[in-house]
Amino acid sequence: MEIRLLIADDHPIFLKGLKEVIEMDADLKVIVSAKNGQEALLSFQSHSVDVVVLDIDMPRMTGLEAAEKMLHIQPDLPIIILTMHKEKAPFLKALEIGVLGYVLKENAVSDIVHAIYKAKDGELYLSPEISAYLLKKTSALQRQSKNDLKALLTPSETHIMKMISEYKSSKEIADELFISEKTVSNHRMNIAKKLNLTGKNSLLRFALEQRWG
């Protein structure tokens, strides 16, 4: 049975190579090749395909954005994300969107066909070495940088930072710790200075982005 594919990548040579690798499997047929997310989304709406393969880094619209929009239109669409980077954020984002495959480009030749068949059956596929490496590595790195930050702040400041990340107001923090709001305010200011943060909600923002909780 033939599987019809839409593929997208902004590098023409890679795109051509990808098409050839995929079509070495007799049952896989690349119906559309797009060179950015926007084009992929438009093509998707005018062609009937079984599986979509998207690069993340593309001009006009990233693969993740395109994936999100496609799944909005057709929630059970099997989508596979290709990427060069071993970063954690796009990986988690991809899972969150509801993508069925996440494959690193360096391993793509062997993994991509496997991922396509898995995705076609509604199963999840992540290139194993890659995802494991990525998860362990980056969570360790993240812990490291969090430790660095905690070393920069005093114990009280760290404590208050944690409470900020729990959406507590200065008044609530002051009441819980039996100290004056003024003291909390001073701590906030000292933290902001140490971390070079300015502007409204900058502390809350930082606390949330660094997953302080």
Partner DNA sequence: TGAAATATGAGCACTACTACCTATGGAAAT
Partner DNA sequence: ATTTCCATAGGTAGTAGTGCTCATATTTCA
Contact 102, 80 (CB under 8 A): yes
Distance CA 113, CA 174 (A): 58
CB of 185 to a second copy, least distance (A): 15
Which residue number, 122 or 155, has a Cβ lying nearer to DNA? 155
In the region spanning residues 153 to 192, those forming contacts with DNA, defined by CB under 7 A, are 154-157, 169-171, 177, 179-183, 185-189, 192
CB distance 52 to 80 below 8 Å: yes
Work out how close the CB of 193 gets to DNA at its nearest, in angstroms, rounded to a whole number.
7
Write a three-state SS string for 127-141. CHHHHHHHHHHHHHH
Report the C-alpha gap between 210 and 204 in whole angstroms.
Answer: 10
How far apart are alpha carbons 81 and 51 in whole angstroms?
Answer: 11
* Residue 138 interacts with DNA (CB under 7 A): yes or no: no
Among 126, 161, 163, 207, binds a second copy (CB under 8 A): 126
Task: Pick from 1, 13, 140, 151 the residue near a second copy by CB under 8 A.
Answer: 140
Tell whether residue 149 is a contact of a second copy (CB under 8 A): no
Sequence length of the chain is 213
- Amino acid 48 reads S
- Asked if 207 interacts with DNA (CB under 7 A), we say no
Positions touching a second copy (CB under 8 A) are 71-72, 75-76, 88, 92, 95-100, 122-124, 126, 128-129, 131-133, 135-136, 138-140, 143, 167, 169, 200-201, 204-205, 208, 211
